[in-house]
Structure 1
Amino acid sequence: LTLTVLGGLLVELYGRDPSNYPKVDPIAHDDETRLAHLLDKIAQHHTDRLGLLRVVSCCRVPAPTEMLAQMLDEKEVDVRVKLAALHKWHLLTFAPDAGTADVHALIRKYFLGKLKDGVACHVQVQIARWFGEQPLPEYPQTLDDVAPLRIAVEHAIEAGDPDLATDYLHGTRVGHFNTLSGWLDGFGYLAVDAELYGHVIRQYERLIAEEGRRELRNDLASAYNNRGNALADQGKLADAVADFDRAIEIYDTLVEQEGRRELRNDLARAYNNRGNALGHQGKLAEAVADYDRAIEIRETLVEKEGRRELRNDLASAHNNRGGALYLQGKLADAVADYDRAIELYETLVEKEGRRELQNDMAGAYNNRGGALEAQGKLADAVADYERAIELYETLVEKEGRRE
C-alpha cells in the first residue's frame, strides 16, 4: 500500500526532482509505521484536503458525496473534484457513477488516530444523523432497503451514543413495522438485531460503570429486553432468559426500590417476554407465573389508573398466558384468557381504528379456535378460524403484508 501511495504521489506532489521527495526509511520501520510516516509528510503539504479525508475515514461504509458536501458545507461538484484528485493519488477510491468514496483500512486507521475522540465522535454522530434522515422504500423487503437506518445505528454506536442508536432502532417506522428492530425480526434478520443491541448494551454498561451515568439504567434494561427478544426468536432461549432476568432485575430495582412507577409497564413487558421464552423451554408453570405478574401490573395500569393506551399490551399478555394454559391442558382457563384478549382487540381495531393490530387479533382468534377445538366445540372453533382467515386474507391480499 505504501508503494502504491508513493507511486501516485511523488511526482504529483513534489515534482520530478527526487531531492524533494519525503525520506522514507524502508528498513528502520515496519510496514504500518512506514505508511504513517509517508502520510505525515503528505499532511504537512496538503492540509486543505485533510477535512475531506477525515470525514471519509470516519464513515464505516462508502461515503456518499452528497453527505460529504453537506457535512463540509461545500458544493457537491467541488467535493467531487477533490475526491477525483485524492483517487488519482491513491489515497482513496472514488466511484463517480455511484457518488461514493472509500479509503483503505490502514489509511482510515491513520486519520482516525489523528482525530481527538471528541472530534471523531462528533463526525460519526453527523454521519449517523445523515443516514438516519434518508428515505426508505414504503414496503422494504431486503436488508439493503433498510441499510440507511442500520448504518445510522452503527455510526451512533461507534460514536458512543447508545441513546441515538436506540432511537434509530426503535424510533423510526419501517413499512408495516413500528421499528427497525421489528422489521429485522419480522424478516428473519435476528442475528443482525441481536448484534446491534449487543453493541448498545456494551456502550450503556460502559457509561454507567465508568462515568456513573445511573440515569441510563432504564435504557440498559430496555436494551437487554430487546436483545432477549431477538435471541428468543433465534431459538437461543437460555441466553434470552438471561437477558430478561437482567432486565427484570434492573426494572425491579427502579420500580420497587426507587419508586420509578412510570416504568411499571416496562417491567411488565420484561415479565411477559420472559414468560414467552420459558414457555418455549417447556417451563409452563414458570411461564404462567411471569404472565400472571405482567397481567397484574397491566390490569392495575389500565383499569385502576386509566392507562388506556396499554390495552394492547394487556391483550398480548392474556393471549400469551392463554397459550401456556392451553399447553397445560387447562382449556377453560385458556379460553377465558383468549376471550379477554379478543374483547380488547375488537375494541381497539373495530371501534377505535387501530388497524395495525389486526394481525394480533387474528392470532387471538386462531388460538381460541384451537382451544375450543380441543374442548370438542367444533362449530365455535370453525367460527373463530373463519374470523382469523378473514383477517389474514385482508392483510396478505389487500394490504400486501407478505411477511
Structure 2
Amino acid sequence: MGAGDGGQVPAAVPLAPRRGRGRPRTRPPSPPRLQERDRHLLGLLAVARYLDADQIGRLCFPGRHRTRAGVRLWQLADESGGASWPPFVRSIEARFPDGTPRQAWALTDTGYRVAEDLLGLVKRPNRDTAPQFMAHALATTELLVQLLAAGLRSEPGLRGEASRSLPPMARVSDFAHADDPRYRWIASDSAQRPWSEYDQAKNVRHSRELRPDAILEVPAARVRLFVECEMGTQTVSPLVADAPGSTLNKLTRYASFLNEGADVDPLGVNRTFYDQSFADGFLPELLFLVQSAARERTVASAVEPALATWQQANPGRRPPVVRVAQVAGAVQHVQSLASAAPPRPSGPEPEALPRLSRNEIQLLVDFYGATQSAFKTLRDTARAQGATPPEYPARIAEVHKLLERLRR
C-alpha cells in the first residue's frame, strides 16, 4: 500500500542473505586441499628459500596467466587473516637496489613440514634475508628457475603464438618437480664452508669461511658449481687489499680453498679444504653469474689475466675452472653437463676384473701409505741438504682416490 492511499507505510521486511559472493561468512574458511602441484610448489620454496610470484608461475603454472600463481599463493598464505588454520607460505618485503618494492615468498613452519614429506629433512634458515638483499637472492635463484622450467609444457587451453613460444616438452609433467634428480641446489645459508688462509708476512693462519650465493650440483656429470651472483654493486678489481666483495678477491679465495691443504687423510695424503668438505670426487667450477652483457665482458676480461698471474705465483697448483655468464648462458652450460652421457670405450668389452678381498685392498692401502711416507722422508731430507726434493710419482692423486673407492 502506498502513502497516498492514507494507510500506514509497512515496516521494511529484512531481505534474506544473498547466496554466493555477497553471503556473509558464518565460519572461518577451511584450509586449501593440497594437490600434487602444491606439494612441489612448497618443495621448490624449501629448496630455493625465496621465489617471487613470477618465478613460481613459470615453475608451477607454465603458460597460465601471470596472476594464477599469485592467487594460489594468496590461498596458501591466507593473506586475509581470517583462517583458523596455519598458513603454508608467507610473503616477505623485498626491494630492488633502486628502492623499487618487490614481494618474495617463503615457507612457514607448516610449509616446511609438508616439503619434508617430499624431500626429507630440510635445513631451515635461522633468519630471513634483509629486504635490501632480497633482489640478489632472487637473481641467484633465477638460474635454478630457468633450469627447472625449461621444457615444461603449457597448460591445456594455451593456443597460438603463446604455445609455440615455449620450448619443446622435455618432460611429461606440467609443473617443475622439487626433487628433480638432474640437479641439486644448496641455498646460501647451507653452502658456507670453513677454511683457513696462511699469511706469509705474519707467519699465521687466519680462519676463513667460504660463502657462495649457492652451490649447484650436476650428479650425471659429477660437477659442482659454486655460484657467485654479480649484481654490479661491487668492484671487479679490488681498490684496497681488504675488499672481500670484489670479483678478483673472490677468485683468489676459491683458488686457495680448492688447492690449500686442510689435513692428512688415513692414506697419508694431504687433503685440500675442498676435499675435506666434499669427499665425492665431483669436479669444482666457479660460476660468476652476471646481469648484463657489459658486466660479462668486464668480468671475463679481468678473470683471465688474474688466473694467469695466480698460476705463475703458485706453480704446480691447479687454477680453478671459472665461467662468467648471464643466466641464459649458464643454463645452456649446465644443461649440456646434465645431458652429456659418459663416453663409451671403443673396442671389445673389457673382461670383468676379479673382486678383491678386504685383506687384498688393505694390502694395497698399506703399500701406498708406505710409499707415500718414504717419498715424504726423501723430500724432507733433500730440503734439509739444500737439494731439490724429488717429485711424487705421477697420478698419485688418482691412485689415492681409487683406493678410497675400494675401501668403501
Which structure ranks higher in relative contact order (CA pairs < 8 Å, sequence separation ≥ 6)?
A: 2
Q: Which is richer in helix?
A: 1
Same fold by TM-score greater than 0.5: no
Q: Which is richer in strand?
A: 2
The TM tier, using the shorter chain, reads under 0.3
Q: TM-score, normalised by structure 2?
A: 0.25
